[in-house]
Structure 1
């Protein structure tokens, strides 16, 4: 027969241990919706900034999972069309939106890009997740007005929709004096050595919202 006093002492000990440990950590699941800059185009699998971010989260935010839904060549229209299924299937807590570069390469109207990104942000919010908008810039050969307006679009939209944003994914890479040494031959896609810098750039913003 179990001694009631000993049993109560045992239960008290379990309660004390449970109380000291606290509640289980909240589930965090990050989905990245991007283009070739996030899809490891032209570099070894596992060396891209999204994979590096996943490893960092494993160390610094245990229990956080990452799903990379990036597709090379994708536009904001493409991201917008496939986002609803991702939200349903993945049930993310955070969605990183890294799109817009291919819109600019195709010369699409900025109003088109802005509207697609806005609708993506609102869809993420409606699903109960947090959106983080990742900004991009284009070379000046697109014309100074288009270049400036495109770069400003991301910050303006983030402020209007009150979401976190990364001003420029390629900060510390594309603005280097020897920028060509950080890019593949097409001068669009970064080399593998640039991706740790890109990861740090995203992490500086994302860590505040985890």
Structure 2
């Protein structure tokens, strides 16, 4: 009887832990599994990766290829309402930067993404994004500075940009030079889990 009660208690704790760590990934093609089955994309592998750090999570991948910060902002309220996540990983801005959107617009949209998430009682992990100097070094520097400034201002987790590590391995990059291959996705999942796990509590 005692053993049965202990087992039930453990199962209950596991269920509560799982529910307490629901993660919504709001991103673009870097998280949506560009040119690959969605089950191979790093968010689909994040649950297993987090488990190696003793963290039980339930991941909802709401990423869409081509999305800008504005697109994400349009979709986020419904996502927050439907999923009620405890964490939101924001991986957006690359498409804004590649299209030369004004940094102020990007900053405003990211700010709204953060505050909407926080107002919904979700913690936020903002992923640093960097863009090539297509529009000059001044633009790319201004773009890159948006992320740490917002993370500090809104007390969010700032996650390193995984692509900076991936591009050091040409065999892990697609021919377009922008997207990681399926072979890189398990590494990305571990990279994200290592940076996120210390901020979660089971």
In the other structure, the counterpart of 1:131 is 124
- Pair 193,123 (structure 1): closer, same or farther in 2 beyond 3 Å: same
Inter-partner Cα distance in structure 2 for 1:148 and 1:193 = 30
- Report the CA distance between 1:58 and its aligned residue: 4.9
Higher RCO structure (Cα 8 Å, ≥6 apart) = 2
* TM-score under structure 2 length normalisation: 0.86
**Comparing 49-58 with 145-154, which one deviates more in the overlay?**
49-58
How many residues are aligned here? 195
> For the pair shown, which has the larger CA radius of gyration, 1 or 2?
1
The answer on whether the counterparts of 2:69 and 2:106 sit within 8 Å (CA) in structure 1 is: yes
In the other structure, the counterpart of 2:77 is 84
- Report the CA distance between 1:17 and its aligned residue: 4.5
Inter-partner Cα distance in structure 2 for 1:201 and 1:153 = 22
Moved over 3 A (4+): 20-23, 57-60
Show structure 2 runs of 5+ residues with no match.
none
Higher helix share: 2
**CA RMSD in angstroms, aligned pairs only:** 2.4
Inter-partner Cα distance in structure 1 for 2:126 and 2:134 = 25
Partner SS for 2:174: coil
Partner SS for 1:189: coil
Partner SS for 1:33: strand
In the other structure, the counterpart of 2:178 is 188
Is 1:95 matched with 2:88?
A: yes
The answer on whether the counterparts of 1:30 and 1:93 sit within 8 Å (CA) in structure 2 is: yes
In the other structure, the counterpart of 1:55 is 48
The answer on whether the counterparts of 2:69 and 2:96 sit within 8 Å (CA) in structure 1 is: yes
- Pair 23,54 (structure 1): closer, same or farther in 2 beyond 3 Å: closer
